Structure 1
Amino acid sequence: MQSYKPVFSVDLRAIQANFTVVRSLLSPAVAVSAVVKSDAYGLGLERVVGPLWEAGCRSFFVASMEEAIRLRRRLARADIAILEGLRNGSLEAYRERRLTPVCSTPAEVAAATLAAIPYVLNLETGFGRLGLRFDELRSLLHTNPRVPELVMSHLACADDTGNSRNRLQKDRFVGMCALLAPSTPRSLAASAGVFLGADYHFDRVRTGSALYGLNNTGLEPSPFKPVVRLSARLIDIRHVQRGEAVGYMGTFLADRPTVLGIVAIGYRHGLAWQVANRLSAEFAGRSVPVIGRVSMEYCAIDLTDIPARLARIGAFVDFISATAPPENLARAAATVAQEILIRTGGACARRYRFAPSGQHP
């Protein structure tokens, strides 16, 4: 039986290539960690980490203890840092599985110190989210805490290379790190931060979105290979006359006799409701508008300009492809490409190109 579930295809070799691109943009002295949180941005953690290991990645950041355990089962020797810190899971679990919490409060650092658990120290330099403030760090150091394995912070505006907040955060980071042992490794930049220059790279870069083909800084041409394709089947072809409405609330009125294609993808599958009448998909090598509101299971496309011999029920319509990147869908949905990957990757049938060689240490 043919499945009508949309297909989210992942090119694992392209992920390897993107890791190599990031590596090539840095000094050999700068290490690269892969951020595989949120199920590797919706691409599937277990399937992504093996190819990354084969490409030379040895350090990974995950969101939670649950993700860390999944990753440890896949890679026995990898360095694994947990961004949620010491909030979930027993201290013994971190020790037994050799997991490193990212500590964002003085209490977490104290707990890691008392339990003799290696940890990453997270500093708040202007993102306004998690991490120790300057006054908290200064007070903490009077308690003689365990020296962290890594000290990190996160840039709020790295996507905008000209934003003055980037330098402000970097200067704050340097100033706070000056309170720590000089030999403590430092990490400030994620994917977009790579392009801010060598003085943002420090000792380690944490790359996530770049691995998955996202071009956060809008470089033309993108240095990263496309990784994902989102496709759904054409399940019906219908005809409407000039003046007829399409979809909920009739937000599209046909201004000519129109051939409608009904496609088996909707907001249940991560195709945002907001893209109605704002997005074009690809069919038979041509651009086709998405018309009318997206419903839970289906959407409609305008096939009027497609030759009838090509418009066949069961054919695939592409919403993300090598020529229609996730950023296009994100702009139409008034969101970011990372959200598009997570929502569609988690809701659609995932398919993978290039299987890794097998077991990994």
Structure 2
Amino acid sequence: MSEAQTTAEAHAKKFSGSNSRKFNYFEPKGRRATLYEDVTVDVQPDPERYLLQDWIISWADGKPAYAEEWTKIESSDWHAFRDPNGEWERNHYIRQSSIEKQVALTIESAQQEGVFQNIDKTWRKVIQDHFSASKHAEYGLGMVFLQAQRDGMSQMINNATLVNSSDKLRYAQDITLYLMDLAKDLKELNEDAGKENWLNNPVWQETRRVTESFAAINKDWAEQVFAVNLIFEPLVGELFRSGFIMQFAASHGDYVTPAIVSTAEADYERNLAYSVEMFNTFLSDPIYGDNNKNVTQEWMKKYVPMCVEAANQLQPIWSQPRVKVSTFSDAYNRAKERFNSILGQINIKIPEGVKL
């Protein structure tokens, strides 16, 4: 091989920006690439970006590792989405660790001060029957996002969805551990009551039906994210967490439960932010935006009535605490306003004929 050929081959193998301290193989969201972008963009390449030989791996039946057909949403650039939270493994682990320390210290302090013994008895029953039941919904949604995160068409999409899954599973676990601590101090508390209510109490059956239907969605990760974060959460999840637990607990001598629930509310604010950004990207796509709007309209026709029914079935819970801080009607009106504001953020409206 001649010297000229050897030199040419060496140049061909050399990455074009290898001598630069700047990343120039992708377009950053802002003026400069963030650390989040550096460690997520193109970690999952695809045949549209760099893979000349098609997907590196495929399923046993020959289907590719990732396929656009796994969602009805279409995109001219799956890599355009950036998580506004900029969350990746390191800062996610740090955040989760901080939350766990906060929860543990709150419970430990309450035990030392004998707080659990002073909680109103009607509220203890609510925690036992209904707060405990809610963990099954949270766990189920965590598993929905765990499924969805595998199928997204870019690492940025999958990262955000996986963080969402981790948040839900952590919160469900926090509820479980909290109830175990409560049971040590309150011997009459039945740790199995939550499961019984989740499976058989009529007030929870519509919520159960909705959450189980999300898991049954056939290979459409975008539908799962849209249905859970943009419909179910404001109309049902937040309704119970913020509209009930956060409103009623303090007046019944309980500051621990709201401290735990507040972590889930903060989680949702972050997960709502990425969901809004993701669907704004899809709905404003220069080629497929109109199609994607039609798809989301069909999803709303399917899931809004189910979530409205689930929310209304929870109404009897508001009458069970001794101190009536607010009504279900007030809480649900706030939930509807929240839902409408979320739709406004992605510039879509409730389909005609669909009522809240």
- TM-score relative to the length of structure 2: 0.25
Larger strand proportion of the pair: 1
